[in-house]
Amino acid sequence: MSVHADLLARHKAVLPGWLALYYDEPIEITHGEGRRVTDAEGHTYLDFFAGILTNAIGYDIAEISDAVRSQLAGGIVHTSTLYLIRQQVELAEKIAKLSGIPDAKVFFTNSGTEANETAMMLATQFRRSNQVLALRNSYHGRGFGTIAVTGNRGWSASSLSPVNVSYVHGGNRNRGPFRDFNDADYIAACVADLREVLATATAGDVACMIAEPIQGVGGFATPPDGLFKAFKDVLDETGILLIADEVQTGWGRTGEHFWGIQAHGVTPDMMTFAKGLGNGFAIGGVVARGDVMDSLTANSISTFGGNPISTAAANATLDYVLEHDLQANALKLGNKLMNGLRHVGDENPVIGDVRGKGLMIGVELVEPGGDTPSARAATKMLEETRKRGLLIGKGGLNGNVLRLAPPMTLTESEADEALEILAESIAVTNEELT
Ligand code: PLP
């Protein structure tokens, strides 16, 4: 048995079967540099999924390594939020300012799940209600509350949840009943649905709505700009809080704006974040209106949340994103990639839709000659791109959406390289399916 096969067998023996692994023969990554990673067998790949949007700026970045090393140099990693942590305060100051939320305060966690659990705890406490609105096709994490507001059958177990959740339209536009509507009619239909749900399925005293500005796991499903402003106007009528889950959409990845929700011309009451902030180091958090954050009267703590190592890495990552204007790079190269993919789609009917913003691009695959979601095409695409040295993601309720989200430091020539590999792989997939 090869070393690789042995590791896979050991993985299967002691880790749960439902822990998702990509590829027929899963990859063990051991090195990284720039936008490229190398596996244990020496194959190098261009990483177009940035971990899972975790490695926002790529691999082996001196600024990140130096920041983390400087923490280790102290000889101890004193991890406890019972003491002052300078880089935690500095990071909170930056995020509060960037959030645009009035009088903002930040609480750090270790993951997106914990961030969303915290945000919903704050909202339900502030509003004295356990009723929460979520979007269909959403994904918010693996906690007891976050699983409840995950409206995606493949990932949810919400029937067992303690949260009183009602789902509204506004998630996966491409597959919903309003799919043929233009933007304005779509927004109007979603708002009418929201009003209907509030009037008929809730007791009226709803705590919050939690929503991803672009649904990540749901297949980079991208709503028309303005949807969340229209929602917020309705929510504001009765003080329902809006939580924007920016776990995938934050830090400039969507190109036009620093936060995904800003495309909608609205400031939420809270935002949650994680993934890319630590460039691989575990960190998440909530940035909230001061009155909402301070409404908690009981003591609270996160033992590891905001620890010195993660916050040092996060400060360095955030500084890097801002100093190198990676948001502008995401916009430029995202548009280039989307244009290129649409061009490929013109010749290959297996591509049903290309969508997204910045370096968050979804390619929906369909059975040729129709509109049926093609999970087999997505599986084939993963294998074909891997063969050619490109790692990509997949997702969507039907498992038929390719997700492209490279590190935001992507270069023009790497974008060209990826487009070439994607075009070749699409042509092979298209031919096999027809
Ligand atoms: N929210 C969104 C939008 C996500 O995409 C994810 C993870 O994929 C989460 C929350 C949960 O984050 P984590 O896996 O860090 O707990």
At 98-138, the pLDDT tens digits run 999 999 999 999 999 999 999 999 999 999 999 999 999 99
> Which of the listed residues 220, 275, 302, 310 should we mutate to test ligand 1's pocket, taking the one with most ligand atoms within 8 A of CB?
275
- Per-residue pLDDT tens digits for 153-185: 888 765 667 789 999 999 999 888 999 999 999
pTM (2 decimals)? 0.97
Q: Does residue 143 have its Cβ closer than 6 Å to ligand 1? A: no
Does the Cβ of 274 fall within 6 Å of ligand 1? Answer: yes
| C-alpha 346 to ligand 1 mean position (Å) | 33
Three-state secondary-structure class, residue 322: helix
Answer whether 118 contacts ligand 1 (Cβ < 6 A): no
Q: What pLDDT score does 75 carry?
A: 78
- For residue 113, the ligand 1 atom closest to its alpha carbon is 16
Residues 6+ apart with CB under 8 A from 407: 34, 35, 47, 50, 55, 56, 57, 58, 59
Q: Ligand 1 test: best mutation among 120, 247, 254, 272, most atoms within 8 Å of CB?
A: 247
CA contacts within 13 A on the Cβ side of 428: 16
Res 275: pLDDT: 98
Q: How far is the CA of 247 from the centre of ligand 1 (A)?
A: 6
**What 3-state DSSP class applies to 107?**
strand
Residue 332 in this model has a pLDDT that exceeds 90: yes
**141 CA from centroid of ligand 1 (Å):** 5
In this prediction, residues 390-411 reach a mean pLDDT of 97
ipTM of the complex: 0.99
Say if residue 79's pLDDT is above 90.
Answer: no
Q: Give CA–CA dist 310/282, Å, rounded.
A: 6
pLDDT at residue 368 greater than cutoff 90: no
How far is residue 140's CA from residue 209's CA, in Å, rounded to a whole number? Answer: 12
Classify 120 as helix, strand or coil: helix
Report pLDDT for 162: 75
At what angle are helices 86-99 and 308-323 packed, to 10 degrees? 40
Q: Is the CB of 117 under 6 A from ligand 1?
A: no
What distance in Å separates the CA atoms of residue 230 and residue 430, rounded to the nearest whole number?
39
Q: How far is residue 43's CA from residue 389's CA, in Å, rounded to a whole number?
A: 8
Concatenate the DSSP letters of all residues of 248-279 into one string: TTTTTTTSS-SSGGGGGT---SEEEE-GGGGT
Give me ligand 1 centre to Cα 146, in Å: 9
